[in-house]
Structure 1
Amino acid sequence: MTSLEDVSLQLNNKISSIKRSLQLKSMGNDPSLATMLQKIGLELAGIQNNLDTFQAQILRQQTEMKSLKDLKNSVQKNSEIAHHLLENIPAHLPKKAAMNSTADPQDDKVKWDPVQPLPEKKPAKPKHSVHEIEYLLMEEFNHVPGYMKGRMTYDQINAVIHELNAAVKAKYKILHQPLKAMANITRNQYNAFKQQETKETKGQYFFVEADIKDFTRLKVDKKLQGIFSILRHCHRLREVRGNHLVRYVLL
């Protein structure tokens, strides 16, 4: 490929040739000069063609450079986003839905021998599973109105959910104990929990402010009430009021 230095040298040589030709023209009206002028015109036309080719190449390279610069900026931006996500992984992630343990014998993925009887499993002892509040997803948090969130962050709300789940577990652990095995203090708690129940809470899991004070480190203040508003907005809780008591029912 011809370099700019070569082009400059070529142009200088052509210009010098033109100057010499013009000087010769002024010496007289020699008919031979007409032929030389025609030759000079052809050389100038060739130079113009070369300049047009170089200009087109420069424009093409400028376009490629702009595309590469845009690509570099895009890669850099994606890298910054990935780095930010890596450094800000939420402390609490939503749990995966439990898979159905029963398999269809007709499913090709399940291999079994129809001749041999399936082994009998001993019935497992019934365990009381306590319903929990599901952690918020980032998408849900982003759709919460700004006047509700205020300065609260995604991690702060999920940290409160973690504490509330602990309170519900502690409360219903007592409710699921047999009365005969309870100490007097535990029996008093059990009776108090039973008195809180209503027709609307039958079969539901709920907590009250007293449970928060007894089983968590949370403060029952305006900030916590604001988080309750967010959890109601995101369909995690609903309120049941009655007998001067607010029950927060898990959805």
Structure 2
Amino acid sequence: MTSMDLQDVSVQLNNKISSIKRSMQLKNMCSDPSLTKVLQKIGLELSSIRDTLDIFQMQILQQRTELKSLQDLRNAVLKNSQTAHHLLENIPIHLPKKAAETSTADSKDARVQEGPAKPEPDKNSTKNKHFVREMEYLLLEEFNNVPGYMKGRMTYDQINAVIKELNATVKAKYKILNQPMKSMSNPIRNQYHAFKEQETKETKGQYFFVEADIKDFTHLKVDKKFHVILNILRHCHRLREVRGSHLVRYVLL
């Protein structure tokens, strides 16, 4: 056995002897009346320390719960931020717009070109102020909910491009209908009367167009594909049909 082994054994024996001595001392203290109060005081302090440790443990558990809540909140904020950036980078080409005022600006331009005009009665001025309603563009969710057999190979952008042309048609048509008769040329006056003949009791106060308007005001082809889009727009509650006198009127909803 080496000297190092003997030294380790000696240290272990000395530690055990010291532990036995301390145990004997503590045992003797219990039988010593003068040290009883000291032991009681030590016991109370140990109990106080134990209570403090319990409080610390409860606070640690509470802080862990709050930390988890903060982490969940942070993850939610990051997710919302990523969603917002995705939406910002993928804004649809077509978005719903508010109805535009058409005749007020046009009347101002006409007065600038023609020079000072005579004041008109209040009735005429109220007629010139007219808002043309526009069809709202389809949302992607609406397009996805259209049955596959109905839309076929039609794309979301194609349908909204047609809606843009239909809005331009309605705007052009009702610009003529709201134009003063005195300022109309003969061709425009003929169009005006033709538009008035298309109106019925069901279309009173509504905005509508017919296939002839599409041909007059846009470059769209009124073909099978166009009628497929009209069916989709009816399905999505963008327009309805009013038939009569061998004419189909497409009324904006």
TM-score, length basis structure 1? 0.53
> Conserved in 1, the CA contact under 8 Å of 2:100 and 2:133?
no
Give, as a single letter, the amino acid of the residue that structure 2 aligns with 1:73.
N
Aligned-partner SS, 2:240:
strand
> What does residue 208 of structure 2 align with?
206
Give, as a single letter, the amino acid of the residue that structure 2 aligns with 1:147.
V
> What does residue 95 of structure 1 align with?
98
Which structure has the larger Rg?
2
CA drift at 1:95:
1.7
Give, as a single letter, the amino acid of the residue that structure 2 aligns with 1:93.
P
CA distance in 1: counterparts of 2:143 and 2:217, whole angstroms: 28
Structure 1's 20 and 211: CA in aligned 2 closer, same or farther, altered over 3 A? farther
Q: How does 1:62-211 map to 2 (within 5 A)?
A: 62-87=64-89, 88=91, 91-95=94-98, 122-123=119-120, 127=128, 129=130, 131-136=132-137, 146-148=145-147, 153=156, 157-171=159-173, 181-182=185-186, 190=191, 193=194, 197=198, 199-200=200-201, 203=204, 205-211=207-213
Structure 1: state its 5+ residue gaps.
1-18, 99-120
TM-score, length basis structure 2? 0.53
> Conserved in 1, the CA contact under 8 Å of 2:215 and 2:221?
yes
Q: Which has the higher helix share?
A: 2
> What does residue 8 of structure 1 align with?
none
CA drift at 1:82:
3.8
CA distance in 1: counterparts of 2:184 and 2:49, whole angstroms: 108
Write out per-residue CA displacement over residues 103-129 of structure 1, whole angstroms, 9 at most, x where no aligned residue.
xxxxxxxxxxxxxxxxxx922665485
> Conserved in 2, the CA contact under 8 Å of 1:209 and 1:220?
yes
CA distance in 2: counterparts of 1:49 and 1:223, whole angstroms: 81
What is the identity percentage for the equivalent residue pairs of Structure 1 and Structure 2?
Answer: 48
CA distance in 2: counterparts of 1:29 and 1:84, whole angstroms: 73
Count the aligned residue pairs.
206
Please report the RMSD computed on the Cα atoms of aligned residues, expressed in angstroms.
5.1
CA drift at 1:59:
0.6
Structure 2: state its 5+ residue gaps.
1-15, 102-117
CA distance in 2: counterparts of 1:130 and 1:96, whole angstroms: 7
